Amino acid sequence: MKKSSRKNFALLSVFDKTGIVELATSLKKAGFEILTTGGTAKKLTGAGVGVTHVEKITGNPESFDGRMKTISFRIESGILFDRKNQKHLQEASELNVPHIDIVVCNLYPFEQTIAKKTVSVSDAVENIDVGGPTMIRAAAKNFKNVVVLVDPADYAWVAEKTQKNSLSEYERQQLAAKAFYHLSFYDSQIAHHFSDQLFPEELTLPGRRAISLRYGENAHQQAALYLTPNTATPFASLKKQWGRDLSLTNLTDINAGLEVVRLFTSPAAVVIKHNNPCGIALGENAKEALQRAIDADPESAFGGVIVLNKPMDLRTAKIIASFKEETKGNMDIVAVPEIGKDALGLLSKTRKSMGIYTFGEIPETPKGRMDTKWIDGGFILQTRDDEVEAGFKDWKVVTKKKPSAKQREQMQTAWKFITRIKSNAVIVVDKKLPMTRGIGTGQTSRVRAVKIALSQAGKFADEAVLASDSFFPFDDSVKLATEHGIKTIVQQGGSINDKASIEAADRAGICMVFTNRRAFWH
């Protein structure tokens, strides 16, 4: 920096003190006076860095338990005035306004505070920063003249460029943009925490980048994963153990798999492709569940994503190895809560490019969590369809034939499966085993979905359960089910042709239950 008799200040006021001593030392070498506040001043002086306390500029002491310290005419003016405007320069001189050319600030830990289950309203309120955002906003607005830093990751390179007087206006602008993102992220959490409105008039969604993805849906597209703060999600603990990095499709396939297996406390497995299950199954253990999920549709399982709700041991890993040896079938991604060293060793040899990921315990879906559907120009929010079992109480047997206890159990399993399969969806579930035998998913015609599910099930359709995520608009689906030996049907009901469907079921001796609840999933 050019030497001048005028003092140039760097204002440092941070809650997170990471790297602040090194930054202050570097800025001192670059010719800046360090202007600072209570906790930051104590940290710096303790490290031997000379500072000017902010009270010397404001003329007022820190007051009201620290609520008032940096908000003042001289501080905000020293950040905001335009150094390229002669009138501003004249006013700054006449008013004895300091030149604050760098603002380094991060905020009270509101995010960490509200993460505590016992947080009170008072604790949350006390961790709403006011002075910090004011300084950050002022500095970001005046980025052509003032450098704003909110992230310790930027300290080193900015300090180096500052010493060389080589920080460009473009770089200043990007730091300002980062600061505005930071403020928006912070304020949105405050609004979400205090609001009890499902659909407020104005809304921002906070997100923090967690993973830069290998690519998007296609190799020419870029993508990144963002997570909302303090959300109980397995993706916060997602860790690569071996193999390929994730693409968008890999990640959404893992998510689709998690949506299925988290519905069950017993061992559950799903093979996913393009967000659609190829096979879903439960078992006495992870090995049995995975074998059934693959057996449900081994042809579709090729190149799929495996998701389990229980740890993967060596016995379970051998299922994947056998699948490759016996059918030349590869799996692209395996995502599990945990994996044993011997299981990881086997899978890394089975296919070198297979991605193996762990995500820890699957937490319960937080109450109040919303689904977001992006559309052109915006997004739609909806409440989630999570309380699947709660709807069982509304089921009604509408045929002369009543379900046995085993049939009712299989019907409930089928309904839980179908709530996480893309609509229009019709599935066939084994008559005894908790596993899919046929899946007709994503169809524009419900009867076509029935045909696909029955065709895939083949001989296993005999005496099996057929489930539909909505009503049958005609009796043709029931007649098709009859031809393939289906003995129980579970569907929404509510069509004007319900009577015809019920009569067709009665003629075939089929038990049919109406859920009185739709299970669309898009």
Answer yes or no: 287 catalytic.
no
Q: Once rounded to an integer, what is the mean pLDDT over residues 120-147?
A: 95
Q: Of 161, 194, 227, which residue is a domain's last?
A: 194
Is there a domain that residue 259 lies in? yes
Given a contact cutoff of 8 angstroms between Cβ atoms, the answer to whether 443 and 424 are in contact is yes
Give me the pLDDT at residue 1, please: 40
The total number of structural domains that make up the chain = 3
- What backbone phi and psi angles, to 5 degrees, belong to 110? -60, -45
Both tokens of 504, joined, read: 């067709």
Q: Once rounded to an integer, what is the mean pLDDT over residues 435-445?
A: 97
Q: Are 147 and 24 in the same domain? A: yes
Taking only the tens place, the pLDDT of each residue in 349-373 is: 999 999 999 999 998 877 778 899 9
Is there a domain that residue 208 lies in? no
> What type of residue sits at position 324?
K
Is there a domain that residue 246 lies in? yes
Is there a domain that residue 440 lies in? yes
Answer yes or no: 274 catalytic.
yes
Given a contact cutoff of 8 angstroms between Cβ atoms, the answer to whether 335 and 306 are in contact is yes
Q: Are 169 and 252 in the same domain? A: no
| Packing angle of the helix pair 286-295, 314-327 (nearest 10 deg) | 20
Nearest alpha carbon to residue 204 among 219, 213, 220, 191: 191
Give me the pLDDT at residue 328, please: 85
More confidently predicted of 63 and 131: 131
What's 107's domain CATH number?
3.40.50.1380
Nearest alpha carbon to residue 308 among 353, 352, 362: 362
Q: Are 188 and 94 in the same domain? A: yes
Nearest alpha carbon to residue 158 among 171, 139, 146: 171
What's 509's domain CATH number?
3.40.140.20
Q: Are 172 and 57 in the same domain? A: yes
For residues 206 and 225, what is the distance between their CA atoms, to the nearest angstrom?
13
Domain span at 251: 213-358
For residues 14 and 154, what is the distance between their CA atoms, to the nearest angstrom?
14
pTM of the model: 0.91
Only one residue has tokens 């052109």, namely 376
Q: Are 491 and 438 in the same domain? A: yes
Q: What count of residues does the chain have?
A: 522
Q: Are 164 and 218 in the same domain? A: no
> Which stretches of 115-247 are DSSP H helices?
121-126, 131-141, 155-163, 169-194
Q: Are 471 and 502 in the same domain? A: yes
Is there a domain that residue 374 lies in? no
Count CB-CB contacts under 10 A for residue 353.
9
- What backbone phi and psi angles, to 5 degrees, belong to 356? -120, 120
Is there a domain that residue 420 lies in? yes
Give me the pLDDT at residue 465, please: 98
Q: Which of 17, 88, 161, 274 is catalytic?
A: 274
Is there a domain that residue 364 lies in? no
> Which stretches of 30-147 are DSSP H helices?
38-46, 55-58, 73-80, 86-94, 110-114, 121-126, 131-141
- What backbone phi and psi angles, to 5 degrees, belong to 249? -65, -40
Largest CA distance in the chain: 100
Given a contact cutoff of 8 angstroms between Cβ atoms, the answer to whether 11 and 36 are in contact is yes
Give me the pLDDT at residue 288, please: 98
- Beta bridge pairs of residue 16: none
Q: Which of 17, 53, 88, 141 is catalytic?
A: 141
Provide, rounded to the nearest whole percent, the portion of the chain with pLDDT above 70. 99
Given a contact cutoff of 8 angstroms between Cβ atoms, the answer to whether 241 and 356 are in contact is yes
Helices vs strands, H then E, count in the chain: 19, 21
Is there a domain that residue 443 lies in? yes
For residues 180 and 305, what is the distance between their CA atoms, to the nearest angstrom?
38
For residues 250 and 256, what is the distance between their CA atoms, to the nearest angstrom?
10
Confidence of residue 232 (pLDDT cuts 50, 70, 90): confident
For residues 328 and 500, what is the distance between their CA atoms, to the nearest angstrom?
47
Q: Once rounded to an integer, what is the mean pLDDT over residues 470-492?
A: 97
Q: Are 164 and 89 in the same domain? A: yes
On average, the pLDDT of the chain sits at 94
Give me the pLDDT at residue 226, please: 96
Q: Once rounded to an integer, what is the mean pLDDT over residues 417-442?
A: 97
Give me the pLDDT at residue 2, please: 43
Give me the pLDDT at residue 138, please: 97
- Beta bridge pairs of residue 14: 106
Q: Of 194, 222, 237, which residue is a domain's last?
A: 194
Give me the pLDDT at residue 329, please: 83
Give me the pLDDT at residue 3, please: 45
Q: Are 220 and 323 in the same domain? A: yes
Give me the pLDDT at residue 5, please: 58
- Beta bridge pairs of residue 357: 240, 335
Q: Who's near 264: CB < 8 A, 6+ residues apart?
A: 282, 309, 416
Taking only the tens place, the pLDDT of each residue in 71-118 is: 889 999 999 999 999 999 999 999 999 999 999 999 999 999 999 989
Taking only the tens place, the pLDDT of each residue in 302-354 is: 999 999 999 999 999 999 999 998 888 899 999 999 999 999 999 999 999 99
Q: Are 37 and 160 in the same domain? A: yes
For residues 422 and 402, what is the distance between their CA atoms, to the nearest angstrom?
29
Q: Are 180 and 238 in the same domain? A: no
Give me the pLDDT at residue 243, please: 95
Q: Are 67 and 183 in the same domain? A: yes
